[in-house]
Amino acid sequence: MAPSHLLFGDDIFVFTNGNTKCLKHLSKWLEMYQESSGQIFSSEKSKLFLGAMSITKKQRVKAILGFDEGCLPTTYLSIPLVQGRVTRMLLCPLVEKIKRRATGWAGSLLSLQGRVVLVQSVLSSISIYNMGIYKWPASLIKEGEIILCNFFWSGEPDSRKACVVAWDKVCKFFKEGGINLRRLKAINQSLMMKLSWNFLNPADGWSEFMRAKFISKSGNFSRITKGSSIWAGVRGSIEDVRAHSGWVIGNGASIDLWRDNWCSSLSLKDWINDDHIPWNDLHAKLSSIIVEGRWAIPGNLQLLFQRLGVDIHSIKINKNNADRRVWKPDLMGKFSVKGAFEAIRNKDRTVWWASFLSNKAIHHRLTIYVPTQESGQKPLLHPQGSIGDVEDREGYQIGGEGVIVRSEGKDVLVGGRPRILPYEGGFLQFVVALHFIELHRISLLLVP
């Protein structure tokens, strides 16, 4: 067997059976690798993680391999490995790392846009790798978001400042009046959905192993962790994946007749919702009601479809293809973390002024406009952080260096410097219209 490229990493895990024959083969294989590659294993730094076995057997394993016994929790590739439930204490060091990184910057000397870039590109990214493996406790996510919120408003992770806008509104997309930050909870949830998607669609050894361990013979998912630190996150996101996925029916061999949502947004089991039915004894596949590429529905099941309002004969069968789970929000049916985030995030209505601000023609320092408290959807925040308010005839509460005013169905940009914005395929330099606004109040907001 040729050595895998993974063996050239600094730290690797090798899994093996505990019998004497396998251990001797592993020891010989390690010796051959050291001779052929020139790399020498460190016996002092290498550890054995042993399962439930007697003391005598543990001593025999140590004697054959020459390594000492280690214990969990330990760290592998910057990920803490633990048996069982993931606790807050296990992940606290990562939140402290975010805090230390934010403290190391002179955030108060940065512009608001500069702090936004740091939150988007650095602080929010520190936790992504870990969030792709573990489901974070809600209290830890809240603590992490407090750090990000404090740094965004004040430049210091521990310094709280009066917030003009709720953090949830700040994290909205540009088109919804926010500044395109990401909530940590939604990031963690979308990454967990990726694991759940891979679990439901076995394509590698990991998914096959997880399915063999956590799916019973009756087709039900295990409700206990069985010592796994990731199963709680995988199981908790399965329903989110099912809610946004469907099936392209092939031969029906991979679809559970009762538990998969192959004919509607819910499975037949969820539609019926009767705990008196022995579901553990029902594990038929969809192929059992398909004969030669056509539906062969028993009479009692046909009555059930009629009661549910499902036209079973309108569902097409591709008998020459395998069944395929598809991600419904994507036109090609392909799952992505980005698509999962978009599907589960809290959405808001699109604001009329968003297209003016989030545009390449405007410098980034002039695009941080924050809604006021009254409406929740009106601009603006001055680049230096001071807020000025002006009220036009229609009652819009607005303020800042650049002021967008709606009057008589037209949008007019008022500001101390010329603003170039796209207009009907070209660019238009807005002309200031002040006939309905007090000029002396506007002048107080303009930058000299």
pLDDT in 10s for each residue of the chain, 448 residues: 555 666 666 678 888 888 889 999 988 888 888 888 787 888 888 889 888 888 888 899 988 988 888 888 888 888 889 988 899 999 999 999 999 998 888 777 887 788 888 898 888 888 899 999 999 999 999 999 999 999 988 888 888 877 778 888 888 888 888 888 899 999 999 999 999 999 999 888 889 999 999 988 877 889 888 889 999 999 999 999 999 999 999 999 999 999 999 988 888 888 888 888 888 888 889 999 999 889 998 888 888 888 888 888 889 998 888 999 999 999 999 999 999 999 999 888 887 766 666 566 555 555 554 433 333 434 333 333 323 333 333 333 333 334 444 434 444 444 433 333 333 333 333 333 333 344 444 445 544 4
| 448 within domain boundaries | no
**Residues 289 and 298 sit within 8 Å (Cβ to Cβ):** yes
Token pair 């067997």 is at which residue? 1
Q: How far from chain centre, in Å, is Cα 233?
A: 12
Q: What is the DSSP letter of 121?
A: I
**Residues 240 and 196 sit within 8 Å (Cβ to Cβ):** yes
Q: Are residues 177 and 106 in the same domain?
A: yes
Q: Are residues 283 and 422 in the same domain?
A: no
Q: Where among 47, 71, 95 does a domain terminate?
A: 71
**3 state SS of 411:** strand
Print the domain residue range for 21. Answer: 5-71
Q: Which residues on neighbouring strands pair with residue 215, listed in sequence order? A: 221
| 77 within domain boundaries | no
Q: Are residues 215 and 344 in the same domain?
A: yes
Q: Are residues 236 and 370 in the same domain?
A: no
Q: Are residues 97 and 189 in the same domain?
A: yes
Tell me the whole-structure pTM to 2 decimals. Answer: 0.77
Q: Are residues 132 and 190 in the same domain?
A: yes
Q: Are residues 86 and 129 in the same domain?
A: yes
| 139 within domain boundaries | yes
**3 state SS of 428:** strand
**Residues 97 and 124 sit within 8 Å (Cβ to Cβ):** no
| 76 within domain boundaries | no
Q: Are residues 21 and 138 in the same domain?
A: no
Q: Are residues 153 and 280 in the same domain?
A: no
**Number of domains into which the chain is organized:** 4
Measured distance between the N- and C-terminal CA atoms of the chain, rounded to whole angstroms: 73
Q: Are residues 301 and 207 in the same domain?
A: no
Q: Are residues 30 and 12 in the same domain?
A: yes
Q: Are residues 167 and 102 in the same domain?
A: yes
| 126 within domain boundaries | yes
Q: Where among 316, 350, 384 does a domain terminate?
A: 350
Q: How far is CA 213 from each of CA 178, 207, 371, 447, rounded to the nearest angstrom?
A: 43, 10, 50, 65
Phi, psi of 28 (to 5 degrees): -65, -40
